[in-house]
Amino acid sequence: MKRLHSLALVLAIVIPAVGQEPRFPPREPGVRKIESDYPVAPGVAKGEFRTGQKADLMLSGFDFNSSGGPLLFNHPAGLASDGKCLLVCDRNNNRVLVWKSAPAKNSEPDFVLGQANFETNDPGNGLHQLNWPSNVSISPDGKVVAVADTQNDRVLVWKTFPKKSGASADWVVDLGKLPFQPDRSETGRKRIHRLGWPWGVWTDGQKLAVVATHGSAVLIWDRIPGENNRPPDRILTPADCGTPRGITSNGTWFALSDHNYGERSRPATMVWKEFPKSSDAKPDFVWHEWVKGSIASDGKLTLAGMRKLYLYDALPAESTANVAVELTPNSYRNGDGPDVVFANERMYACNYNGNNILVWNRRPAKDATQPDFAIGSNTPEKDTLRDNFLMTNPVVATDGKSLFASSDFDRTLYVWKQLPDRSGAKPDFEYQLPEGAWDNALFKNTLVLGGQRSIYIWKELPINGQKPDVELRQRIGSVTFNQITGVALDNQYFYVADREANRVSIWKGIPDGRAEPVQTLEVHRPGRLSSNGEYLAVAPFEGSKIQLYRVADLLKNPKPISIGGPGRMNLPAKCIISEGRMIVADTSNHRVLVWSKLADAISGKAADIILGQKNDSERKAAIGGDRLFMPGSVAFGNGYLWVGEFKFSGRILRFSLSETKR
């Protein structure tokens, strides 16, 4: 007897409300030399940064406004079909790819929504544009198409099936413009402060349901809106709903997936056996896994989860209903985009972190059935992210001459021996590590990586493919590592942050495995670290404040200076102090804050330069040339600022000082 069951998820997170499944199976540790050729950045850039300036170079991608082509995806996140066509949300490329007839091989789509052609990927907010679409739905008759345009806080609706690239939607549901009263509860159980960030959408051509992840709600229209921004007929707010994601329904049976369900904030899927007819309708049962999929006209249900796909012969009436087939494909690496649909008798499964669509030529009848082919790669197992050096969660470091980028998710370190001066430049070396590094630090000629329960130290910068000189695992002296989230070093001390232990441990110089710390700072869930020798900067793993400690006071009187706070920063993931500037990756405000003078930051003044947004009031994310999407790390040297984006983008951007006046 098989049943849908809960999975033990290993999350790589900065924001508690969102997470990613790690890439698996892990690659073998080792070093790979890459045949790379790129122009080298000229000497020292001089001048100043300016608010809203464009980045001048991008790594971990092809170029600005460049998708890589029609069959190179960047994290496909949602599928839709009327039984004949196939629509794919290519999320990080800001587009929806459309095949008028679902393909029988790895063939190019017929046209694209959100872009004028297959080569571009700039975001936009026109009715013909998209900004990070997370899901798509089509009515069973193949007429109505709806797209969750997540970062634009809206849903676009085409009343008839579009016929060409860049076709404009007919209607828009802008969640920010709905006549919604945030000061009252819609159900009497929970207060909704605002509605936004739609991840999921579903329509059968009659009804429309939209998931508002901000608001923990589902907006339901009994008749699909025939005009812009018509208010919903009701707002469903399940009591234990956290950050809802996607909808699976046939118009009667209704399932809502949630990434942070209940008090423990665990993935789950709530199920109503009848379509919710009131705002306070309670689910009939709950599966403790995030699943999403489709229902065939004969009532067969197919669901995609994080690590498995589940095929039911009938709609389940309880959480313990038997699964007919349970698939665990070798090539299946899902994350924030599980979905599965049927078209032309074939089964198509979204493979978010595998960066392709897995296809079975017929509905599998056995658990061990592997996919027949893939869309977006030559084989189901092909890793197009790695082949094109697209990182997840890059953390950057530089000495002004070379560039390093490590990833906890990929368990990878990329090395550019010299500073590249061209977008899309391949690294010179790729390191595969036993454990991923959440943070890194570079001081003089030493590079340190730290994450999970491991620390790797190169006493000479690894620009020639050399292995680490020191590997420390599980402990240093009496200090046992639980979850390393920060490392730093300067000319006096070596620092390690452990978020689970709520501490920053400090050693005199680079320690061996037996050394005892000279100081321990009690810090609530510390994140990434940095030190310029005068100040130790501690970023929060969760929170809104940077803590600065004077290095000279660490042993006797370590009192932090707090910078930021609610409304000023939102999960700032990295802070560096370099050449008199203080620079902060203000992650969830999608910007980098720059104080030209450290003293201004310490005195409480606002940053005088903002990168990634036009001004201080802008907060929305976008994968664009002058925009940022969750910047998680920063590094500065020789006038070049490198920014690594976290989780939902993965780009590495370069901003250069310029003599141009602000």
Supply the pLDDT for residue 242. Answer: 95
**What does the pLDDT look like over 507-552, one tens digit per residue?**
999 999 999 999 999 999 999 999 999 999 999 999 999 999 999 9
**Using CA atoms, how far apart are residues 419 and 403, in angstroms rounded to an integer?**
6
pLDDT averaged over every residue in the chain: 93
**What does the pLDDT look like over 417-456, one tens digit per residue?**
999 999 999 999 999 999 999 999 999 999 999 999 999 9
Contact indicator for 177, 229 with CB cutoff of 8 Å: yes
DSSP state at residue 570: S
Third-level CATH fold of 35-57+389-656: Neuraminidase (2.120.10)
Q: Where are the domains of the chain?
A: 35-57+389-656, 71-304
What is the SS3 assignment for 24?
Answer: coil
Fold agreement (35-57+389-656, 71-304) = yes
Supply the pLDDT for residue 22. Answer: 45
**What does the pLDDT look like over 325-334, one tens digit per residue?**
999 999 999 9
pLDDT over threshold 90, residue 306: yes
pLDDT band with cut points at 50, 70 and 90 for residue 193: low
**Using CA atoms, how far apart are residues 540 and 322, in angstroms rounded to an integer?**
44
**What does the pLDDT look like over 61-109, one tens digit per residue?**
999 999 999 999 999 999 999 999 999 999 999 999 999 999 999 999 9
Could you tell me the two tokens for 405? 């980028």
Supply the pLDDT for residue 297. Answer: 92
pLDDT band with cut points at 50, 70 and 90 for residue 662: very low
**Using CA atoms, how far apart are residues 506 and 264, in angstroms rounded to an integer?**
33
Provide mean pLDDT across the span 136-156. Answer: 98
**Using CA atoms, how far apart are residues 188 and 282, in angstroms rounded to an integer?**
13
Provide mean pLDDT across the span 146-175. Answer: 97
- List beta partners, residue 32: 430
Supply the pLDDT for residue 46. Answer: 87
**What does the pLDDT look like over 114-137, one tens digit per residue?**
999 999 999 999 999 999 999 999
pLDDT over threshold 60, residue 13: no
pLDDT over threshold 60, residue 6: no
pLDDT over threshold 80, residue 468: yes
pLDDT over threshold 80, residue 562: yes
Long-range contact set of residues 471-475: C-beta below 8 Å, sequence gap at least 24: 472/511, 472/513, 475/513
Supply the pLDDT for residue 190. Answer: 54
Provide mean pLDDT across the span 628-646. Answer: 97
pLDDT over threshold 90, residue 191: no
Residue 515 burial (C-beta neighbours within 10 Å; 0-12, 13-18, 19+): middle
pTM recorded for the entire structure = 0.94
Supply the pLDDT for residue 623. Answer: 96
pLDDT band with cut points at 50, 70 and 90 for residue 618: very high
H-run or E-run covering 547: strand 545-550
Supply the pLDDT for residue 16. Answer: 35
* β 57-59/652-656 pair status: antiparallel
Residue 566 burial (C-beta neighbours within 10 Å; 0-12, 13-18, 19+): exposed
**Using CA atoms, how far apart are residues 576 and 582, in angstroms rounded to an integer?**
6
Q: How many residues does the chain have?
A: 662
pLDDT over threshold 70, residue 652: yes
pLDDT band with cut points at 50, 70 and 90 for residue 4: very low
Supply the pLDDT for residue 192. Answer: 61
Residue 27 burial (CB count, 10 A)? 16
The sign of the CA dihedral 264, 265, 270, 275 is positive
CATH no., domain 71-304 = 2.120.10.30
Residue 643 burial (C-beta neighbours within 10 Å; 0-12, 13-18, 19+): buried
- List beta partners, residue 203: 208
User: What percentage of the chain has pLDDT greater than the value 70?
Assistant: 93
User: What percentage of the chain has pLDDT greater than the value 90?
Assistant: 90
pLDDT band with cut points at 50, 70 and 90 for residue 415: very high
**Using CA atoms, how far apart are residues 303 and 253, in angstroms rounded to an integer?**
14
Provide mean pLDDT across the span 27-33. Answer: 88
**What does the pLDDT look like over 576-612, one tens digit per residue?**
999 999 999 999 999 999 999 999 999 999 999 999 9
pLDDT band with cut points at 50, 70 and 90 for residue 310: very high
Supply the pLDDT for residue 555. Answer: 96
Q: In what order do the strands lie in the sheet with 439-443?
A: 439-443, 446-451, 454-458, 470-473
Provide mean pLDDT across the span 549-556. Answer: 97
Better-scored residue on pLDDT, 662 or 397 = 397
